[in-house]
Structure 1
């Protein structure tokens, strides 16, 4: 009986601890689109973390907001909002909300994670179609597309060598995918002012869909310090390429032994 009760109340400890971020962190990225040989400023993404209560638990409210520049509205208007409530100790998601507004396409995805019964309840509405309800069987250490980024920031990359695959489990469009990120070693990113940021470089395996072809067509550079800030993300899409570059940051958790001079500031990454 003790074993049964213990297993029901235990949350999967997928990371030893969260050392990379804290409530109050905000990161802003500039988005670029490449079609041919020219990178064009196309939008902005803001990621923020707040401390809140959800279902009587201490959680991080992680929010991601993406929008294109007004100059692109006539071509493809994009306003996406992602919200995740993740347990403050384990980073396991409890609830995930995705509101998609892309051109004439609108969708609303909601997911509730029931850890005790290892289930995920979903509620999805696309365009004007009827609402779809579903129940999925959850797997240990499964993250949504937002919380996975904060989980990866807390990985111990020192135990991996170049070329190693690090398995991840991620919920995408009402389906759990067993994927991986491939560690590519260290690489230095330079700013226009001459600053150097040593980065951990890796490529995640992507799911084929309306935007990506699938495969390892995305590269991510994380700062090689305890903040593990995404410095740059670059990916091939079905038509052209996209790039996200860190523009500003504030509320960083780690100020000592950090690549960032202060707890907030701006960057100007060399293209």
Structure 2
């Protein structure tokens, strides 16, 4: 699940990227995903936006909750039940609060992050029964205009104005996750009709340049497809991994900004 989170973080861009004015924020939006390896379904996930706005520092914010867990035979070998969430500004997507409750086999982590834009610091509080060495409190310096949590990053990525890009354009990526900073690039591959679980849809295709690691196979191992419409839905992720090819695909949605529900 951490690997899947890092895949989605590949969409987080710096503040220099142009974004659309009609951001795809819809109260009550629900997205459901399937994670598969070959012919086998190994996990399922959901992404939900709150029904009402949450006020923080006099600004309207959305609360996002994400749940991922193993499914099918995968649960026999290693049970995963992870919960993520955040409260982020509905316009800038900057976070005020985020959390993650991780339960993966014998490993666990309960983490809370509080973002203070007066002191420009984020306070991270963590506990773990499986790892007594987890630091209970940590502080990290924030930078003006940066995206520093996964939920805000996903929403920001959905708001990129891909219409202003041409095939071959490069977008610089900045991300912060699991106490680490990530700097890499993403190549825009244009628009194509893509077969997905929710239909054949015009999509923006993007490929992050992956650094050499023990998980992904090759520098262009991961490909994203984002719907080229007002919803800019994360439709599909394909990853060439050292143990085979894995997919994360949108299977249903409701309460999106434009169009009817797909169950």
Q: Same fold (TM over 0.5)?
A: yes
- 3-state SS, counterpart of residue 74 of structure 1: helix
The RMSD of aligned alpha carbons is: 2.6
Shift of 1:236: 2.8
Q: CA deviation at 1:224?
A: 0.7
Cα 1:210–1:230 change in 2 (3 A) is same
Instruction: Work out whether residues 197 and 251 of structure 2, in 8 Å CA contact, stay in contact via their aligned partners in 1.
Output: no
Q: Which residue of 2 aligns with 1:128?
A: 131
Aligned residue number for residue 89 of structure 1: 91
Structure 2 residue 144 is the aligned partner of structure 1 residue 144: no
2: CA distance between counterparts of 1:93 and 1:206? 26
Residues 79-88 or 182-191, more deviating: 182-191
**Helix, strand or coil for the counterpart of 1:142?**
coil
Residues 17 and 90, structure 1, Cα contact 8 Å, conserved in 2? no
1:161-172 correspondence to structure 2 within 5 Å: 161-172=166-177
The aligned residue for residue 258 of structure 2 is 254
Query: Paired residue for 1:160, among 137, 160, 165?
Result: 165
Match of 2:28 in 1: 24
Distance 1:120 1:176, change over 3 A: farther
Question: Structure 1 unaligned runs (5+)?
Answer: 1-11, 256-261, 267-271
Deviates further, 168-177 or 246-255: 168-177
Structure 2 match to 1:41: 41
CA distance in 2, matches of 1:232, 1:247: 10
Paired positions, count: 243
Matches within 5 A, 1:6-25: 15=19, 17-25=21-29
Distance 1:192 1:207, change over 3 A: closer
Secondary structure of the corresponding residue to residue 146 of structure 1: helix
Give runs of aligned pairs for residues 83-122 of structure 1, distance below 5 A: 83-122=85-124
**Structure 2 gap segments, 5+ residues each:** 1-14
CA contact (8 A) 1:18 1:89 kept: no
Greater displacement, 14-23 / 245-254: 14-23
* CA spacing shift, 1:106–1:19, aligned 2, 3 Å: same
Q: Choose 74-83 or 54-63, whichever is displaced more.
A: 54-63
How far residue 145 of structure 1 moved from its aligned partner, in angstroms, is: 2.1
Q: 1:94 to 1:180 in 2, by over 3 A?
A: farther
Please say if residues 80 and 99 of structure 1, whose CA atoms lie closer than 8 Å, have aligned partners that are also in contact: yes
The within-5 A match list for 1:196-207 is 196-206=200-210
Aligned partner (choices 72, 75, 86) of residue 74 of structure 2: 72
What's the offset of the Cα at 1:28? 0.6
Alpha-carbon distance in 1 for matches of 2:89, 2:218: 30
Superposed displacement of residue 88, structure 1: 1.6
